[in-house]
Structure 1
Amino acid sequence: MRVHHLRNLHRVVAPPLSWRRLPLQVSGNGLYGPGLPKPPFSPPNRLFSASSALNTFLDSETTIFALSTAPGRAAIAVVRVSGPACAQIYRALCPKAPLPRPRVAAVRTLYDPTAEPSSRSVLDAGALVLNFPGPKTVTGEDVLELHLHGGPAIVKSVLTAISCVDQPDSLVRYAEPGEFTRRAFLNDRLDLPQIEALGDTLSADTEQQRRLAVRGSSDTLSNRYEQWRQKLLYARGELEALIDFAEDQHFDESSDDLVLSVASQIQALRVQIQLHIQNASKGELLRHGIKVALLGAPNAGKSSLLNRIVGKEAAIVSTEEGTTRDIVDVGVDLSGWYCKLGDMAGIRSESGDGTGPSSIVIGAVEKEGIRRAKARALESDVVIAVVSLEEGSACEPYRLSVEPEVVEAVNDCVQAGKCIVVAINKCDRLPSSERDDQLSPQLIDAASSLFPAVSPGRIFGISCREAQEGLVSELERDPGQIQAFLRGLISTFEEIASPCGIGGDDNGQYDLSYWEDSLGVTHRQSSNLQRCVEHLDNFLSQASKPQTPLTPGHDLEHRSIEMEVDIVTAAEHLRFAADSLATITGRGESGDVEDVLGVVFEKFCVGK
């Protein structure tokens, strides 16, 4: 009884997964869900409050409509209608013309359905109408699209006319935010990863964000999650069969061997899921932007470099030290990579007693700025250490001017795992004989001695003064070597955002696209994948427990019961892991008794 109680515990405490509890959080704007405010009209009994929205979502007989393009004055406005009353709405608006052929555009004149068709009741004399019969539509239902002239008065009149169409068998109302997308999900036209990718598509600003959204718009990730869920379901079925039929069926392998075999399969799956979680963190860099911090001493050229990168005077540049006190964040698109550049206070330390001419006294405001600069650098993905080239002595014509506080801050960033890039500013002070596209070996060695963790390929020489003044020779087209520095910075972005795990796993070799698709994993998906890994770890720890040896007073029957309890607990961890994968897609249920029994009978009871 104890074993059976544990095995069926989930059927009492864990109700089946339901879409009603899924945190969709889908944007209503764009192609599938308009998400607009209430229309500028209020026909009686047509608009529903948010409290009744959930009930109306479940009503398959309800027809919804909304403006699918952005509100305001435009050349074209698209009104979308979805539901069983699309044909009736068309006949009410176009009583003089037949319904267009499916998926063939037709020009129609739209009339006010509350008046007789005449020249005085025309709403739009040149609307383009498309008819999409279900179920192969964006929502899985009949869809009617009206491409109108985009004047606000025309759009308002057509929306009002649709709301006034009286259908006794089908309620016609304005769509709630995200309802088109929700209907597409309920009718198996979209899954949750595709819906999240849709939101990324609508909000993409850079080329890398667009590529990331396109990767997630297909069903590749959903199919992969479903394959993993099926593997967990199959493994759980093997354990369930061992529990139910161990005494009645003949197994080719012992129970211990079977558990170890399942554990090896789960371990391989865990490695693969963990790699996808790591790639998901890199995908977040593309989705939300790469945080870049400019770290250096006062007057090293941080603000000047920021202005040259963004192409405008975003930060104040002055010869006075300590000009920048707070953090100046600027977003910029660098060859398709969205970056958040942060110019911060210069880092320096106090010296002297404050009375001499060479003494440095740091006030409370500057100290707070330095503290924030160090904290911002530790939060960044890439840290640009800006050092300046200063004139030296006769033996050493030039030298690198670096504050010890800057070196210490960079070392802290290295220990935190941040990517470091060194920019040597004021290279215009070098003699003309030593000016070249590449830094001299002496300068690279000097920079490497200061920052030993930085490879020579990430050390660049620049001149913000030449870049600002446009000083360029006849053979040089990159004043100040700013473009060369940006190319090196972009290559750094490509390196830190490149997918890991390339090279395959125990199932064979995978091409690059297999791991690039995992960059599209969202934070919600990554959280559920991490939860899945935790349950797999619990399973592996449970499955690797040594068997309790026989002791006086413990017979074989008692030992068998204790072994089955361990297996049941391990099977429950697999169920929880599969539940986490089912939550990602919104499809499937690892606790389905029919599915588990199907695996059991297919593997162990064929022909019985």
Structure 2
Amino acid sequence: MFSLKKFIPRESIIRHIRFSSTSHLPTVYALSTSHGRAAIGVIRVTGTESQFVTSVRKLYDPKTSILLDESLAILFNGPKSYTGEDLLELHLHGGNAVIKAVLKAIESLHTNEKPIRYAEAGEFSKRAFQNGRFDLTEIEGIRELIDAETESQRVGALDSMTGSNKIRFLEWREKIVDSIGLLTAIIDFSEDAEIEDIDNIYKNVDKKVTELQKEIDQFLKRTQSSEVLLKGIKLTLLGPPNAGKSSILNKLANEEAAIVSDIAGTTRDIINVPLNIHGYKVVVGDTAGIRDLAKADKIEAEGIKRAKIQAQVGDLVIVVLPANDAHIDEELVDLIKVLNKEKKVLVILNKCDLVSKEEVMHLIDNSSHILNVPKDNFLPVSCYNDEGIDQLSNGLIEEFKVISATEKSDPIMITQRVKDILINDVLNGFNEFKTYKDLDDVVIATESLTQSVEGIGKITGETVGVEEVLGVVFSSFCVGK
């Protein structure tokens, strides 16, 4: 009987790149903190001559013996340092003159026997990859963490930096390798196998590929939803003139981000203000007040036109209505009815301090009917006494979770490079596998899965051809990281 276990030549199927040592490379150094006057400046030195650089505790110029600074010198012995090499950090006083003097002194230590040079962009992280300290997904996660501006971005970057994505990718890779092994067994030993066994192998592999295809599709959908956290959730403020849209914006921003006036038509163009609302990056678009175009001048009419366009491309629309004025122009009513069919529309009744609670409830009932917006989407507030502002912020957080698909799980962030490889290499390989499986061409079907598994390798940096992606990964790093 045909046996599968002894016919899965894993190592012969997938070629690996082993992590290379960087011991032959010159020692490099760089300023790892920002240029400019600061309390502390950190210079990093990595390589075999790191200890040579620390031949003194107080930092003296090696040629003139002039005292440069008193610093905290921390040596991290390889391979447990960031780069996997001996790595030195000099914590200096952060003045420009001190930094320049110490960098110049380190430069002067270079000799042919002890090569020392300034680091290239991303070289510290590149060496960490070359020495096996991190794979490419973890390296990219570190970059995303550095760039994170909000709490949600920080949480999303941690998946990559801590290796959660790496584990997920390696699990996918193992499943594909198993499938390749099964198909290779058919190629090499089909003459000794029974037809029934071959059919079962094909069905087993096809089932695994289908399940994996669905899993990767769902993963990509989650990452696509999480991308809004990087770009910022687009929130558009609409309403009639003098309804208090700019006041609402200022409350959300906790600053005077927009001009507030009792003159109708103060906002003539779209004011986009990036905000951090409870850990979410939000780009709030304050638009021109929408009213009967016959009452607006030429410039205001153009502002109204732009407001309509802004509302259609936004992720969430907030309509601000004055509680002390029940009239709503048909221009605004028609727009809200259209938007309500496409996306979530929240309605804020502002200036509720000017009317009674009974009048507010009556206005909600009436406006809900006119605008075709559910009553649950209405919220009474007052920018004068802050009534309802906290409820507004909390309500927005729940909407942001829905938009970014983070209601039940943390966001997942991947780079465009990883996304492209998953689509163009991994999923495309699956599609080709199914095509050639149906044509009963097991050889090309197997090669198609090899394309998929090599795609995973490009993501993590474990296959031949890794050099072609290194430049893309590290070129965006700053010098000293």
TM-score w.r.t. the length of structure 1 is 0.67
Change (3 A) 1:538 1:300: farther
Matched, 1:215 2:165: no
Q: Which moved more, 1:161-170 or 1:135-144?
A: 161-170
Matched, 1:528 2:421: yes
The answer to whether the Cα contact below 8 Å between 1:295 and 1:385 also exists between their aligned partners in 2 is yes
Q: Which moved more, 1:132-141 or 1:196-205?
A: 196-205
Aligned to 1:581: 456
Higher relative contact order (CA 8 A, sep 6+): 2
AA in 2 matched with 1:448: S
The answer to whether the Cα contact below 8 Å between 1:280 and 1:523 also exists between their aligned partners in 2 is no
User: Aligned-pair distance for 1:184?
Assistant: 1.1
The answer to whether the Cα contact below 8 Å between 1:297 and 1:402 also exists between their aligned partners in 2 is yes
Q: Deviations over 1:272-327 (max 9, x none)?
A: 11221121123222223211111223333222221232233322333443332211
The 2-side partners of 1:410 and 1:277 are apart by 32
For the residue of structure 2 that corresponds to 1:520, the secondary structure is coil
Matched, 1:77 2:41: yes
Gaps of 5+ in 2: 1-14, 467-481
For the residue of structure 1 that corresponds to 2:274, the secondary structure is strand
Q: What is the 5 A alignment of 1:309-458?
A: 309-350=252-293, 360-391=294-325, 399=326, 401-416=327-342, 418-431=343-356, 434=358, 440=361, 442-452=362-372, 454-458=373-377
The answer to whether the Cα contact below 8 Å between 2:75 and 2:87 also exists between their aligned partners in 1 is yes
The answer to whether the Cα contact below 8 Å between 2:47 and 2:87 also exists between their aligned partners in 1 is yes
The 1-side partners of 2:71 and 2:61 are apart by 14
The 1-side partners of 2:253 and 2:328 are apart by 25
For the residue of structure 1 that corresponds to 2:281, the secondary structure is strand
For the residue of structure 1 that corresponds to 2:81, the secondary structure is coil
Change (3 A) 1:237 1:326: same
Structure ranking higher in helix proportion: 2
Which of 218, 237, 245 is the matching residue for 1:302? 245
Aligned to 1:167: 111
Which of 385, 389, 395 is the matching residue for 1:482? 389
The 2-side partners of 1:18 and 1:192 are apart by 13
Change (3 A) 1:287 1:150: same
Which of 372, 376, 380 is the matching residue for 1:461? 380
For the residue of structure 1 that corresponds to 2:215, the secondary structure is helix
Aligned to 2:12: none
User: Aligned-pair distance for 1:340?
Assistant: 0.9
Change (3 A) 1:237 1:367: farther
Which of 258, 275, 284 is the matching residue for 2:218? 275
The 1-side partners of 2:450 and 2:340 are apart by 41
Change (3 A) 1:114 1:590: closer
The answer to whether the Cα contact below 8 Å between 1:296 and 1:347 also exists between their aligned partners in 2 is yes
Q: Deviations over 1:389-417 (max 9, x none)?
A: 345xxxxxxx4x3333334333443444x
The answer to whether the Cα contact below 8 Å between 1:236 and 1:575 also exists between their aligned partners in 2 is yes
The answer to whether the Cα contact below 8 Å between 1:458 and 1:488 also exists between their aligned partners in 2 is no
Q: Deviations over 1:134-176 (max 9, x none)?
A: 1221111111222223333322222111111143333111111
Which of 228, 231, 234 is the matching residue for 1:285? 228
The 2-side partners of 1:446 and 1:534 are apart by 53
User: Aligned-pair distance for 1:251?
Assistant: 4.5
CA RMSD in angstroms comes to: 3.0
User: Aligned-pair distance for 1:523?
Assistant: 3.5
Aligned to 1:494: 401
Q: Identity over aligned residues, as a percent?
A: 37
User: Aligned-pair distance for 1:461?
Assistant: 1.0
AA in 2 matched with 1:64: V
Which of 3, 22, 31 is the matching residue for 1:67? 31
User: Aligned-pair distance for 1:443?
Assistant: 4.3
The 1-side partners of 2:195 and 2:464 are apart by 30
For the residue of structure 2 that corresponds to 1:519, the secondary structure is coil
The answer to whether the Cα contact below 8 Å between 1:293 and 1:380 also exists between their aligned partners in 2 is yes
Gaps of 5+ in 1: 1-15, 20-56, 95-107, 351-359, 392-398, 471-478, 501-511, 546-561, 592-608
Q: Which moved more, 1:252-261 or 1:129-138?
A: 252-261
The answer to whether the Cα contact below 8 Å between 1:385 and 1:421 also exists between their aligned partners in 2 is yes
User: Aligned-pair distance for 1:534?
Assistant: 4.1
Change (3 A) 1:140 1:411: farther
User: Aligned-pair distance for 1:590?
Assistant: 10
For the residue of structure 1 that corresponds to 2:222, the secondary structure is helix
Q: Deviations over 1:408-451 (max 9, x none)?
A: 333443444x332221223234325x38xxx63x4444343345
Aligned to 1:261: 204
The 1-side partners of 2:39 and 2:250 are apart by 38
TM-score w.r.t. the length of structure 2 is 0.84
The 2-side partners of 1:423 and 1:182 are apart by 51
Q: Deviations over 1:209-261 (max 9, x none)?
A: 222233332011012112112212221232232233212x3258343443232
Aligned to 1:109: 58
The answer to whether the Cα contact below 8 Å between 2:324 and 2:355 also exists between their aligned partners in 1 is no
The answer to whether the Cα contact below 8 Å between 1:292 and 1:380 also exists between their aligned partners in 2 is yes
The answer to whether the Cα contact below 8 Å between 1:63 and 1:86 also exists between their aligned partners in 2 is yes
Matched, 1:146 2:90: yes
For the residue of structure 1 that corresponds to 2:463, the secondary structure is coil
